[in-house]
Amino acid sequence: MTHLAEITRLRVLEYSNVPEWLVRLTSVAAGSAMLAVYTGTPLAMLWIAGYAAAHLVYYLFLRSHAESATQRDVRIAQTLYLGVPQSFVLGPAWMVVQDDRALNLIGTALFGCSLVYLIRRNEISRYPVIGQISVMSLTMASVAVVILPELDSLVARGGLVMSWVALVGFFARSICQSLKLTLAERAARDEVAQSQKLAAIGQMAGGVAHDFNNNLTIISGNLELLADLEDAQERALCLAAAQTAAAQAASTVKELLIFARKSPAQMIQMDANAPLADVEVLAQRLMPALITMQVQTLSQGDLVYADKNQLVTAILNLVVNARDAMPEGGRLGITARRITLSTDMPVSGGRILPAGRYISYEVRDTGHGIPAAIRFSVIEPFFTTKPAGKGTGLGLSIVHSIAEHFSGGVEIVSVPSGTTVSILLPQVVDIVQGQVVGLDAAST
């Protein structure tokens, strides 16, 4: 997982469920107000003040690093989060040490609530897990230090110590077990997904074999014919046909490798316009005379973090789909533009893109659009409306897989007058010297 993806995960984990977060915040605010009234001291309002301040600092830090992050930023974010549970348990800790049975019971209950919440939160990074255990243990130890002198009986003191040690131990074991189960569930889910991909590839073997057989027939036939021809122009045509068939076979293998995630990605910061230089050259060869194509790049050098070759592959897949959607001709537009999401946005495949700045690679056609009945199925592996031998059904699935791997997403907007498919990738703000691929490198 990249550092930016980890920052995004932390933000989604804590703030994606807005109603739940607001309930927690308002509950602490109401509790502080009631506590101030009950005790007759406005100092009780420090509880909500500290809790709100910890959340504000944590949220603003995550928000300020929504577009770029380093390992140091991730560690700072995880450390700042520890201030959130710490600021919450200060209120219950104060209640437990008061000489008031009602406050003692309420504080103990709130302690239990915080422990249950941290276990349910399912943090998957070891550093914050250890931090949560440490925060709760030190807070409970501090409370015990205050309460122990008030107990006259040695047995009572021993019972309190044993009970609190058992509670801390149970909490630590439970949160570690939750971590282990969450990681095991994620690993199992990834394994199942990989198995499903491989199983689907196995089911598609017949169709792929058919495509390869056609390509091999074209290659072998033209090579045999090449030996019998003497005219240079005819020999060139035969050789070109064989090369085209070989390229189609290689493209099928490449798509399968990318879909199966066996093709390694070479992630690098690059000029957002860089992929379009290759796309424009390659797409020109794919366009029939009936289709006019226009490529529009960004006015200034923005950055994205991706594998250039895989991004070019993804955009070309959209170009091929757009071309096939206009058999009678039309207009095809390839555009890169910057967009800002003010709120989290759902995209294809059930993904949620967090608010922030993105580079959108859009491919628009003037075809007949995608029927509503299949609009949610087009990104599924091997789903195709093309006749046998004309497509593997991996195009949009590969586009979705590549975008997801680059911490982005795919948006599909289709109307009867045409379709626009967009690949949204997070915009990179910080430039790492020596790792930026520009247009010159893109064209070599």
Among 417, 443, 423, CA closest to 330? 417
347-353: long-range pairs with CB below 8 Å, 24+: 347/409, 347/410, 347/411, 347/424, 348/379, 348/400, 348/409, 348/410, 348/411, 348/412, 349/379, 349/400, 349/404, 349/409, 349/410, 351/404, 351/409, 352/12, 352/16, 353/408, 353/409, 353/424
Q: What is the CA radius of gyration of the chain?
A: 30
Cβ atoms 310, 425 nearer than 8 A: no
Cβ atoms 61, 110 nearer than 8 A: no
Q: How far is CA 171 from CA 81, 159, 247, 355, in A?
A: 18, 18, 59, 34
pLDDT at 235: 81
Token output for 335: 């555009």
| Chain length of the chain | 444
Show the DSSP H helices in 229-298 as ranges. 232-259, 274-286
Token output for 164: 């609190």
Q: How far apart are CA 118 and CA 122, in angstroms?
A: 7
Strands 436-437, 418-428: pairing is unpaired
Task: Output the DSSP codes for 76-102.
Answer: HHHHHHHHHHHHHHHHHHHHHTSS-HH
Q: How far apart are CA 360 and CA 357, in angstroms?
A: 10
Place of tokens 């033209």: 222
Cβ atoms 241, 222 nearer than 8 A: yes
Among 134, 132, 139, CA closest to 118? 132
Cβ atoms 435, 419 nearer than 8 A: no
pLDDT at 189: 63
Among 347, 349, 281, 348, CA closest to 316? 281
Q: How far is CA 259 from CA 105, 321, 395, in A?
A: 56, 17, 9
pTM reported for the whole predicted model? 0.51
Tell me the HSE value of 72 on the side-chain side, using a 13 A CA sphere.
0
pLDDT at 82: 92
Q: How far is CA 260 from CA 113, 165, 380, 384, in A?
A: 43, 49, 14, 18
Token output for 117: 């919440």
Give helix then strand counts, H and E, for the chain. Answer: 13, 10
Phi, psi of 177 (to 5 degrees): -65, -40
CATH superfamily of 265-442: Histidine kinase-like ATPase, C-terminal domain (3.30.565.10)
238-246: long-range pairs with CB below 8 Å, 24+: 242/218, 244/218, 245/214, 245/215, 245/216, 245/218, 245/219, 246/215, 246/219
Among 402, 404, 405, 383, CA closest to 394? 383
pLDDT digit string (tens) for the chain, length 444 residues: 567 778 888 887 888 777 888 888 899 999 999 999 998 888 889 999 999 999 999 999 988 887 778 889 999 999 999 999 999 999 999 999 898 899 989 988 998 888 888 888 888 888 888 999 999 999 988 988 888 888 888 888 888 889 888 988 888 888 888 888 877 777 776 675 566 555 555 545 555 666 677 777 888 887 878 777 778 888 888 888 888 878 777 766 665 555 454 455 677 888 899 888 888 877 877 788 899 999 999 887 788 888 888 888 888 888 888 888 888 889 999 999 999 888 888 887 777 888 888 999 999 999 887 776 565 556 665 445 554 444 444 567 778 888 888 888 888 888 888 889 999 999 886 544 434 344 433 333
